[in-house]
Amino acid sequence: MAWRFALVIDPAAPDDEGADYRDTLHEIDPHGPALGVGELSAQRGDGVFESLGVVDGHPHEVGPHLARLAHSAALCDLPAPNLAQWRVAIERVAREAGAGENVMKLLLSRGVEHGPAPTAWITLADAPDNTSGRTTGVAVATLDRGYALDVPARAPWLLLGAKTLSYAVNMAAIREAKRRGADDAVFVTSDGYLLEAPTASVVLRVGDRFVTPEPQAGILHGTTQLSLFAYLEGRGFTTAYETVPAKDLATADAAWLLSSVRLAAPIRSVDGIEVPVDRAFTDELNAYLLSPRD
């Protein structure tokens, strides 16, 4: 990954209306060491994050990403992030973005063990080339997430709706999907319902209806899916959040993985079975997703 820029945010900044936060932001070497050895993000994956797409210098969906950062922080009992300060920091980092696609990561950890404050920082890097996923599409393998649909409500300490830094399980799922000859995974509950991919939301098209699994089912509410639903509703389509049986993935008229940097990647096969890809419609969705969006 080609790192471009990194910024540390002083979390002790006052939350005053009209405050000028610029002197609470400290540029650091994006290629150098930056975290203390007692940093709990590294020791325990104890923190939350967001990945934003930045296209031609414009950071996409800043409001929804900050709302989800605050939601994840609340689920993890982290101090509420100062969103006005984060907005100033995001604008500062976006000025360093080049033409084309970049990825900005917002990170908020519990800080250094026994330390006084959380640690907050932002990185900016070139985005990977996602052309093939957006055009040819992705083969997915469905993987059992190992719990039933009601577990997120019964065991909120599993933090299933928070975007935590503990992505080791998500990365293991992608490796397992690759061992099965696929490009990516789609998690399903042990009682047979669709959830999400390890780094993306799943959206199905059935006729003129677009459906995604309920975010209350212990999955992330995708900012890309939210934005796409608003676009689709503007185009006269119906959208819905539902409890989706896993078997519907292979019988849908079309399906996509959606995320902030990859954007819309059509699913071209499910567990080795080819499924239809609507290339022209996917191109239209990606043209929308690449346009400046707030």
- Residue 198 CB-half CA count within 13 A: 23
Q: Which helix (H) or strand (E) holds 257?
A: strand 254-259
- Alpha helix stretches (DSSP H) within the chain: 40-44, 62-75, 83-94, 131-135, 151-154, 168-179, 223-234, 248-251, 279-290
Q: Does 143 bind ligand PLP (CB under 6 A)?
A: no
Q: Whose structure tokens read 């997120």?
A: 152
Which of 109, 142, 199, 286: binder of ligand PLP (CB under 6 A)?
Answer: 199
Binding residue (CB under 6 A) for ligand PLP from 41, 72, 259, 269: 259
Neighbouring-strand partners of residue 214? none
Q: Which range touches ligand PLP (CB under 6 A), out of 88-96, 154-162, 254-262, 273-281?
A: 254-262
Please state, in angstroms and rounded to a whole number, the distance separating the CA atoms of residues 223 and 200: 10
The helix/strand/coil state of 268 is strand
Beta strands in 57-169 (DSSP E): 58-59, 101-109, 119-126, 138-144
Interface pattern 213-232 for ligand PLP (x via CB under 6 A):
-------x-xxxx-------
5 neighbors 30 (Cβ within 8 angstroms) = yes
**How big is the site for ligand PLP, counted in residues (CB under 6 A)?**
14
Bridge partners (DSSP) listed for residue 235: none
Nearer to ligand PLP, 97 or 217 (CB): 217
Measure the CA–CA gap between 32 and 34, rounded to whole angstroms.
Answer: 6
For residue 15, what is the DSSP state? -
The verdict on 286 binding ligand PLP (CB under 6 A) reads: no
Q: Is 201 in the site for ligand PLP (CB under 6 A)?
A: yes
**Per CB under 6 A, does 244 bind ligand PLP?**
no
Q: How far is the CB of 64 from ligand PLP (least distance, A)?
A: 7
Residue 154: its H or E element: helix 151-154
| Site residues (CB under 6 A) for ligand PLP, limited to 47-66 | 51
Rounded to a whole number of angstroms, the minimum distance from the CB of residue 19 to ligand PLP is: 28
Q: Give the range of 106-114, 171-179, 194-202, 279-287 binding ligand PLP by CB under 6 A.
A: 194-202
Q: Are the CB atoms for 51 and 104 separated by under 8 Å?
A: yes
Q: Does 72 bind ligand PLP (CB under 6 A)?
A: no
Rg for the chain, CA atoms, rounded: 19
- 85 interacts with ligand PLP by CB under 6 A: no
Is 204 a binder of ligand PLP (CB under 6 A)?
A: no
Shortest distance, position 80 Cβ to ligand PLP, whole Å: 20
Nearer to ligand PLP by Cβ, of 85 and 199: the residue is 199
What does the binding site for ligand PLP look like in residue numbers (CB under 6 A)?
51, 196, 198-201, 220, 222-225, 258-260
